[in-house]
Amino acid sequence: MKKTVRDVDVRDKRVFLRCDFNVPLDDSGVITDDRRIVSALPTIKYLMEQGARTIVASHLGRPKGVADMKYSLAPVANRLSELLGTEVIFVSEPEVVGPAVKDAAEALEPGSVMLIENVRFRPEETKNDPSFSSELASLADIFVNDAFGTAHRAHCSTAGVADFLPAVSGFLLEKEIRFFSGLLEDPEKPFTAVLGGSKVADKIPLIENLLDKVDTILIGGGMAYTLLKAKGYEIGTSLLDEDSIQLSIDIMKKAEEKNVKMLLPVDTVCAKEFKNDSPSVCVDVDKIPADMMGLDIGEKTQKLYRKVIMESATVVWNGPAGVFEMDNFAAGTKAIAQAMNDTKAVTVIGGGDSAAAVRKFGLEEGISHISTGGGASLEFLEGKKLPGVECLQDK
Ligand code: AMP
């Protein structure tokens, strides 16, 4: 168990708080989705109430180590001020930690909050260079990491500063760790994983790690066709990852040996072109026409997968069941989202596309946990250690 912000005395202390404010902006720099800022509010409010002097940092986009003002955190500072209903002092310096930031941090009153510039303005940040970590650390007495979305990166502001300061988690990171460790350590059975997305190769480490924990794996998305091909089906022009056919054969064999049911689609919605308006047909997987590609799971598969999800006690979902960005091929993903919403099971969604899909369909209400970190949650489920978590003090 890692220490959290509750386990340290933050009163009057300077706290370096790493958040993930990597929010989407439109062409005129307006934030189009502030969920990542909203998710950080419980920790920030707690620090304010406790009388800490909070210095918040984040990255935004990929400025590639230069102070490109297109990626300035100025819009985030405004939105954060609005959400908190109080002024957030924003000190923008191209070197991120310059004289103005040092002075402002020094002068910060208990209970107040300041935000510094995009940490990726500095080339050292993504290299986890100790010199920049120590500059960041020099601003504070305690490091609180609440940026789950970047916890799989060993960067100065996500892990390096912990070499210089006592490090604990914020509430968001704590919640993410609780749900994901719960899945890996002590899931209620039956435990089902729903996997989709485009490439099998990307999901092999995940499947390998889950084979010792889950009872059933439901496969959808583009990756299903390589697995179907490995089983001897003709898949027409569907997405095929030739190089992963042997891997697919091996992983299905391993699943069998471990008594894990690995279900593949039994029917699929096919079209001639990768286009929303390409006329489609739904066929069983042994009847995929040679000139068509599978773009979604069919109705029989949806029903089958729904039944498994409804009968599970724990379900984790990573990757869409079809090309959900196109309305005509979104039904399979919607059916999974609906089942996730309807089941009594503990349901966890691993961020990224599946989280976007659940939101697109307005079905997030019934989900136990939707992760804020696509990449980080995937690495956690693969059994990898996350640098942004590992660097925190143990209880
Ligand atoms: P990934 O980036 O590997 O998580 O895959 C997500 C992408 O897979 C989404 O953009 C989906 O549109 C895409 N996808 C899902 N099903 C299919 C399919 N049957 N054929 C091609 N792409 C798919």
In short, whether 220's Cβ falls inside 6 Å of ligand 1 is no
Q: Which atom of ligand 1 is nearest to the CA of 322?
A: 16
Residue of the CA atom closest to atom 22 of ligand 1: 222
- 15 with 52: CB under 8 angstroms? yes
If you measure from the C-alpha of residue 229 to the centroid of ligand 1, how many angstroms do you get, rounded to a whole number? 17
Residue of the CA atom closest to atom 4 of ligand 1: 197
In short, whether 374's Cβ falls inside 6 Å of ligand 1 is no
If you measure from the C-alpha of residue 47 to the centroid of ligand 1, how many angstroms do you get, rounded to a whole number? 40
Q: Residue 243: helix, strand or coil by DSSP?
A: helix
Q: Whole-prediction pTM value?
A: 0.92
**What is the reported pLDDT for 351?**
75
Mutate-to-test residue for ligand 1 from 202, 225, 323, highest number of ligand atoms within 8 A of CB: 323
**What is the reported pLDDT for 135?**
98
In short, whether 3's Cβ falls inside 6 Å of ligand 1 is no
Q: Edge-to-edge strands of the sheet including 369-370?
A: 261-263, 216-219, 191-195, 314-318, 346-349, 369-370
**What is the reported pLDDT for 191?**
98
Which amino acid is residue 131, in one-letter code? S
State which residues of the chain have pLDDT below 50.
none
CB neighbours of residue 305 within 10 Å:
25
**What is the reported pLDDT for 197?**
87
**Cα–Cα separations (whole angstroms), residue 154 to 128, 160, 175, 270, 390:** 6, 7, 20, 42, 10
Beta strand ranges found along 58-107 (DSSP E): 88-91
Residue of the CA atom closest to atom 21 of ligand 1: 222
By annotation, the residues acting in catalysis are: 36, 199, 352, 375
Q: Which atom of ligand 1 is nearest to the CA of 323?
A: 12
If you measure from the C-alpha of residue 239 to the centroid of ligand 1, how many angstroms do you get, rounded to a whole number? 9
Which amino acid is residue 39, in one-letter code? S
Residue of the CA atom closest to atom 18 of ligand 1: 222
**What is the reported pLDDT for 210?**
96
In short, whether 202's Cβ falls inside 6 Å of ligand 1 is yes
- Dihedral sign, CA of 375, 377, 380, 382? negative
